[in-house]
C-alpha cells in the first residue's frame, strides 16, 4: 500500500456525504484540485466495516491530516490521555503526519466528572490561561511524540477577566508551547466583525513561520455585527481577500475548504476549491507540510 504524507495545495474536509462522490470521480480531472483531505480522528478511530474500507481507500490515494474536536485544550479537566494514546496509534497506523486542535475548550466538570459540550468555547485571554494551555499542549506533544498545531477559534462572548487581546494570547501560547498554528481565515473575519477589530491588522501580527495549513469557510450573517461560523454558506469576498493577504504576507500555504452544514453535491463545491487553487497559483512561493 502506497501512503502519501506531503500536504500541499488545496484540501477538502472529508464528510460522509462526499465520500462516494469523490470515489466515483477519482479519475475525473474536475476534482484534481482536491490534493489532500482532513478528517476528525474521533470519527474514524476504531472504524470497522465499510468505514474502515473507506478510510483505507483515502489513505492510499490522498495525503490526510487530522483535525480534532474534543481534546479541550483549555478545559478544566485533565487531558484525556487514553484518547491521546488512541490518536497516536491512529496517526502511526495510517502514517498521518499532522494533528491539529482548537485553541478553545469543550468540556465542563459536573459532579466531579467531565462532560462534553456542544460548542467550542473561548479561553479567557489571561497570563494564567497562557501558562495553563501551553502546558497542556506540551503534554499533548510529549504523549504524541510530535508537534501539533492549534487553530484560532471563533467565539461570540468575550470573557470579562481577559487581560490581553486575542492575537496577543495566540502568540503567547504558540511561543510558550512551542507548537504550530492551524490558521483559520474565516475565524479571523468572523471575530473581527463580532468584536469590531481590523482583520487585516490582526493577520499582519500572525507568526507566519508557525503556519502549517489553513481553513477557509463560509459563515452565517445573523445581524450586521453578528456572524456565526457555520461552515454552511459560500465564502464571501472579504474572506477571500484575507486569504490573498495571507498568501502575500506568508507564502502560499496549504488551504482546506470546510463545509460542515448545508453540504451540496460535490460539483457545487468545486468552484470554491478551484478558486483557492487559482489564488494559490497567482503566488510563487508554495509552503508545504511534510514529515518523515
> What's the first-to-final CA gap in the chain, in angstroms?
17
What are the C-alpha distances in Å from 108 to residues 67, 240, 265? 21, 35, 37
Q: Is the pLDDT of residue 287 over 60?
A: no
Q: What is the 3-state secondary structure (H, E, C) of the chain?
A: CCCCCCECCEEEECCHHHHHHHHHCCCCHHHCCCCEEEECHHHCCCCCHHHHHHHHHHHHHCCEEEECCCCCCCCCCCCCHHHHHHHHHHHHHHCCCCEEEECCEEEEEECCEEEEEEEEECCCCCHHHHHHHHHHHHHHHHHHCCCCEEECCCCCCCCCCCCCCHHHHHHHHHHHHCCEEEEEHHHHHHHHHHCCCCHHHHHHCCCHHHEEEEEECCCEEEECCEEECCCCCCCCHHHHHHHHHHHHHHCECCEEECCCCCCCCHHHHHHHHHHHHHHHHCCCCECCECCC
Q: Look at 108-112, 145-149, 260-264 and tell me which has the smallest mean pLDDT.
A: 108-112
Strand 99-102 and strand 149-151: pairing?
A: parallel
- Give the pLDDT confidence of 197-241 residue by residue, as tens digits: 999 999 999 999 999 999 999 998 888 888 888 888 999 999 999
Output the pLDDT for position 109: 42
In the block, cell 478545559 appears at: 75
Cell numbers found for residue 96: 498521518
Q: Does the structure show a pLDDT above 70 at 291? A: no
Radius of gyration of the chain (CA): 18
- 10 Å CB burial of residue 134 (0-12, 13-18, 19+) is buried
Over residues 256-269, the mean pLDDT reads: 95
Q: What is the pTM for the complete model shown?
A: 0.91
pLDDT at 3 over 50: no
CB atoms within 10 A of CB 223: 9
Q: Please tell me the distance from the alpha carbon of residue 15 to that of residue 55, in angstroms, as a whole number.
A: 12
Mean pLDDT of 156-182: 94
Which set of grid coordinates corresponds to residue 156? Answer: 461570540
Cell of 74: 483549555
For the chain, which domains are there? 10-281 (3.20.20.150)
Predicted local confidence at residue 222, as pLDDT: 84
Residues whose CB falls within 8 Å of the CB of residue 132, separated by 6 or more in sequence, listed in order? 74
pLDDT in tens, 57-112: 999 999 999 999 989 899 888 999 999 999 999 999 999 999 999 998 765 444 34
Contacts of 167 (CB under 8 A, 6+ apart): 202, 205, 206
Q: Which residues contact 197 (CB under 8 A, 6 or more apart)?
A: 165, 191
pLDDT at 114 over 70: no
The residues pairing with 216 across neighbouring beta strands, listed in sequence order, are 257
- Backbone conformation region of residue 112, classed left if phi is above 0, alpha if psi is from -120 to 50, else beta: left
Grid cell digits, residue 122: 473561548
What's the CA gap between 95 and 85, in Å, rounded?
Answer: 15
Amino acid at each position: 500500500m502506497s501512503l502519501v504524507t506531503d500536504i500541499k495545495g488545496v484540501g477538502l474536509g472529508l464528510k460522509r456525504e462526499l465520500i462516494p462522490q469523490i470515489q466515483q470521480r477519482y479519475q475525473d480531472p474536475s476534482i484534481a484540485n482536491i490534493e489532500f483531505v482532513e478528517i476528525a480522528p474521533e470519527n474514524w478511530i476504531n472504524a470497522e466495516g465499510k468505514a474502515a474500507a473507506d478510510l483505507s481507500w483515502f489513505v492510499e490515494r490522498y495525503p490526510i491530516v487530522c483535525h480534532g474536536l474534543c481534546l479541550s485544550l483549555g478545559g478544566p479537566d485533565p487531558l484525556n490521555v487514553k484518547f491521546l494514546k488512541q490518536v497516536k496509534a491512529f496517526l502511526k497506523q495510517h502514517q498521518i503526519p499532522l494533528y491539529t486542535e482548537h485553541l478553545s475548550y469543550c468540556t465542563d466538570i459536573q459532579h466531579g466528572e467531565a462532560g462534553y459540550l456542544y460548542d467550542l468555547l473561548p479561553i479567557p485571554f489571561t497570563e494564567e490561561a497562557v501558562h495553563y494551555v501551553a502546558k497542556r499542549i506540551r503534554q499533548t506533544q510529549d504523549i504524541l511524540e510530535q508537534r501539533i498545531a492549534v487553530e484560532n477559534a471563533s467565539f461570540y462572548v468575550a470573557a470579562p477577566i481577559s487581560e490581553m487581546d486575542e492575537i496577543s494570547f495566540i502568540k503567547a501560547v504558540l511561543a510558550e508551547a512551542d507548537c504550530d498554528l492551524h490558521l483559520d481565515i474565516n475565524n479571523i473575519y468572523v471575530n473581527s466583525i463580532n468584536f469590531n477589530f481590523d482583520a487585516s491588522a490582526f493577520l499582519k501580527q500572525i507568526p507566519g513561520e508557525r503556519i502549517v495549513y489553513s481553513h477557509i469557510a463560509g459563515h452565517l450573517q445573523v445581524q450586521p455585527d453578528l456572524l456565526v461560523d457555520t461552515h454552511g454558506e459560500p465564502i464571501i469576498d472579504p474572506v477571500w481577500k484575507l486569504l490573498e493577504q495571507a498568501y502575500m504576507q506568508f507564502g502560499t500555504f496549504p488551504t482546506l475548504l470546510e463545509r460542515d452544514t448545508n453540504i451540496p453535491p460535490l460539483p457545487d463545491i468545486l468552484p470554491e476549491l478551484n478558486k483557492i487553487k487559482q489564488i494559490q497559483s497567482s503566488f510563487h512561493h508554495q509552503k508545504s507540510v511534510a514529515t518523515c
